[in-house]
Structure 1
Amino acid sequence: MKKSMVNCGVILLLLVSVSLTGCSKTEPVKEEMPRVRSQVVNLAASGQEAAYSGEVRGRYETQLAFQVSGKILKRSVELGSVVNSGDVLMEIDAKDITQTVTITSAQVASAQSQLSLAEANLARYRKLYEEGAVSHMQLDQFQNAYEVALANARQATAQYTQGANQLGYSTLLAESAGVISGIHAEAGQVVSAGQPVITLVTDGEREIEIHVPENRIDEMRNARQVRVSFWALPGVTVEGTVREVSPVADKVARTYKVRISLINPPPDIQLGMTASVAVADSSGQQAVYIPLTAIYQTGDTPNVWVINDGIVSLRPVKAGVFGDGRIQILEGLQQGDVIVTAGVQKLREGQKVRQ
């Protein structure tokens, strides 16, 4: 009995030992091969084309305003109206100005009457002086009275002319043929002298207005090629030239306004159209532009992951300007290099990846 129990215990221990031995076996861990997004470096495309959205504007845009203050009585144009030189655009209440003109007109009549009287008196006393009936001092008094009356008449006439001009200023006229692109005041509104009320775009040359960040200003000034396309005109591309770069940045957006002149624009281009301006860099420096997501920063050094035979390695690069989600690489990459453009933070040196 005891021997049988001992044999059973020995067999049980053997089974447990075999079981534990089997559990201690470890299967080899498969190396993780993450899938990454990649891009082939092409130095032939070194001339970057930065794209900017803009708007079709007129070469000459005039902010029209009344030269006198008053309440607007009538607006004769609508947004987009085509006008000719001399057309009436707005009118303001001229009642007070008319009263001023009436007053100055009466002052002119009074001054002319005083001048006529002074002139007659001077002629009479000059004759009396020649006959020896009056002294030279009396003649000088009437000569002075005449000169004062003449000055008063000239002053009254000038005031009347000024009032008449102001009466004419109560009507706002188009200074040239063009299109109304902005209306900034309505009938019933009281405006001050010089306050812009209408924007008039003069007929003629059309331009594109864009806004450029400060790190692209030099590139814009030296642009070797500017191409303009239009959202509303598929397939239409127009060559352009940089005509004007604002020397001062916008206080809010901190961008610089740039005007692009169009070369031989088609007649279908209308004011306010949305335009896309592609500017080719003329620096001549060999470089490539890659997505910002491809940069792996270690300290102060930018790096990129380069794929070679399915294995990634970290390579330091020299970065240039950046914008629009891309960054310029000046040194560190060669033609045909394959780089990782997404998921760079999850990689390690020598890791295998799938593309």
Structure 2
Amino acid sequence: MQSFLRFTKLPRKKLYYALAAAAILFCVGGTIIWKGHNQSQPVTQDIPLVRTAVIGTANTPQGYTYSGEVRGRYESQLAFQVTGKIVKRNVNLGSTVSAGDVLMQIDPRDLQQTVNSTSAQVYSAESQLRLAESNLHRYQQLYAQNAISRAQLDQYENAYEVAQAAVRQASAQYAKGSNQLDYSLLYADKSGVISSISAEAGQVVSAGQTVLTIVQDGEREIEISVPENRIEELRKAAKLTVSFWALPNINTEGGVREIAPMADPTTRTYKVRISLLNPPPEIKLGMTAAVNVVSAGDQTSRFPTIPLSAVYQTNDTPNVWIVTDQTVRLRPIQIGSFGNAGVQILSGLNPDDTIVTAGVHKLREGQKVRIADGDRQ
């Protein structure tokens, strides 16, 4: 306390100097302490894990693979020939049917009334015909006795012919009504399998509206979609090999049977049907298939193919990362044609080169890397 009193009794000027010196010492000390706490610690280098591939030998088969679906060669889209309300559906999706089976039925009440009406018209016309025939016979006798003129006889002959025509007309209308009543039942015209159902009981359908699709028994084929720039190559294909996703151990050869003359308006691709030369009995409708197309005249290529993910673009130059002794180096390459498996490399790679196939945009020249398990350098 006495020290503080003596400190306050110093002259004002000396007091200011003492406070200023203390403040400077405080700031300098705080700065030193702050720098000591915030001094950057040494950063450990993060060695990235990469996927790699080894460039194999040349002369590997080249081609394109198209995904497709197993379809029947003959597919019928069935529809009613008359308008009406569906009252019964006798089949389900995938049902096996025989020719002549009733698949669907529409309400026949209005059609039955039409048949009843035309049947009554037939009876009326036949009655008029019998009357005309009786009158004709009577007036023929009177004409033979010279009791009437020829003009009167002609009138009754004409009336008889009109009655005959009326009977034929009424009979035709009755036959038409009977046919329409029979059209209320939708029959299977061929034996096969129901592949799609587009109408249900209670729905009102118009004449010609597709309600069922039936795949006829017989040949099976593959439907694929091909872009327009591959159509000619497909026409000249040396070999088509078909594999099935659900049947991995089965492969069969195929041939182009049909190419659609116009592109699909939505996908802008052409529908192509591939017939199976020796179809295995295990294939089912709707199975997923893959059609591998090998081009004619160039069934193999002397250039290696790498995944697109391995290409690293710098400006206008394509490159790949080469792994040597766990270190990556950038090497320029020349790109050829593109395919399903990747891209052809015309120059810049040698057999047994190890390249990075994933994560190429996160690497830098001379960086150390770790190779993922299962890959080899």
Tell me the TM-score normalized by structure 1: 0.78
- Find 1:90's aligned residue among 104, 108, 116: 104
SS of the counterpart of 1:282? coil
Supply the RMSD in Å over aligned alpha carbons: 3.2
- Find 1:74's aligned residue among 88, 96, 101: 88
1:44 aligns with 2:59: yes
The number of residues matched between the two structures is 318
Contact persistence 2:322–2:356 (CA under 8 A): no
SS of the counterpart of 2:248? strand
1:127 aligns with 2:145: no
Contact persistence 1:57–1:271 (CA under 8 A): yes
Give the 3 Å change call, closer, same or farther, for CA 227–219 of structure 1 in structure 2: same
Give the Cα separation in 1 of the matches to 2:355 and 2:180.
72
Moved more, 101-110 or 120-129: 120-129
Give the Cα separation in 2 of the matches to 1:196 and 1:265.
30
Match of 1:168 in 2: 182
Query: Identity over aligned residues, as a percent?
Result: 56
Moved more, 144-153 or 107-116: 144-153
Larger radius of gyration: 2
Give the Cα separation in 2 of the matches to 1:174 and 1:287.
55
1:324 aligns with 2:340: yes
Partner amino acid, structure 2, of 1:189: Q
Contact persistence 1:312–1:353 (CA under 8 A): no
Give the Cα separation in 1 of the matches to 2:270 and 2:57.
31
Match of 1:274 in 2: 288
Give the Cα separation in 2 of the matches to 1:287 and 1:254.
33
Moved more, 243-252 or 183-192: 243-252
The equivalences for 1:17-166 within 5 A come to 37=52, 39-40=54-55, 42-45=57-60, 47-166=61-180
Match of 2:218 in 1: 204
Contact persistence 1:43–1:334 (CA under 8 A): no
Give the Cα separation in 1 of the matches to 2:232 and 2:342.
18
Moved more, 67-76 or 263-272: 263-272
Give the Cα separation in 1 of the matches to 2:118 and 2:318.
81
Question: How far 1:227 moved relative to its partner?
Answer: 1.5
Give the 3 Å change call, closer, same or farther, for CA 159–287 of structure 1 in structure 2: farther
Give the Cα separation in 1 of the matches to 2:150 and 2:237.
83
Question: How far 1:103 moved relative to its partner?
Answer: 0.2
Give the 3 Å change call, closer, same or farther, for CA 338–122 of structure 1 in structure 2: farther
Give the Cα separation in 1 of the matches to 2:341 and 2:92.
41
Contact persistence 1:41–1:334 (CA under 8 A): no
- Find 2:308's aligned residue among 279, 286, 292: 292
Question: How far 1:110 moved relative to its partner?
Answer: 0.6
1:314 aligns with 2:328: no
Question: How far 1:231 moved relative to its partner?
Answer: 2.2
Contiguous gaps of at least 5 residues in structure 1: 1-33
Contact persistence 2:190–2:216 (CA under 8 A): yes
Give the 3 Å change call, closer, same or farther, for CA 36–83 of structure 1 in structure 2: closer
Question: How far 1:148 moved relative to its partner?
Answer: 1.5
Give the 3 Å change call, closer, same or farther, for CA 230–313 of structure 1 in structure 2: closer
Tell me the TM-score normalized by structure 2: 0.73
Match of 1:215 in 2: 229
Contact persistence 1:240–1:260 (CA under 8 A): yes
Contact persistence 1:125–1:139 (CA under 8 A): yes
Contiguous gaps of at least 5 residues in structure 2: 1-48, 370-376
Give the Cα separation in 1 of the matches to 2:302 and 2:166.
79
SS of the counterpart of 1:233? coil
SS of the counterpart of 1:260? strand
Match of 2:244 in 1: 230
Give the Cα separation in 1 of the matches to 2:112 and 2:50.
83
Question: How far 1:323 moved relative to its partner?
Answer: 4.6
Question: How far 1:70 moved relative to its partner?
Answer: 0.8
Give the Cα separation in 2 of the matches to 1:42 and 1:128.
112
Give the 3 Å change call, closer, same or farther, for CA 96–151 of structure 1 in structure 2: same
Give the Cα separation in 2 of the matches to 1:255 and 1:125.
78
SS of the counterpart of 2:169? helix
User: Deviations 1:43-99 (Å, cap 9, x if unpaired)?
Assistant: 411x42322222211111111111111111111111111111101111111000000
SS of the counterpart of 1:234? coil
Give the Cα separation in 1 of the matches to 2:77 and 2:352.
55
User: Deviations 1:259-306 (Å, cap 9, x if unpaired)?
Assistant: 11112212221112222222222242856444334556677x774559
Give the Cα separation in 2 of the matches to 1:36 and 1:273.
33
Question: How far 1:136 moved relative to its partner?
Answer: 1.9
Contact persistence 1:72–1:190 (CA under 8 A): yes
Question: How far 1:145 moved relative to its partner?
Answer: 1.4
Give the Cα separation in 2 of the matches to 1:240 and 1:214.
20
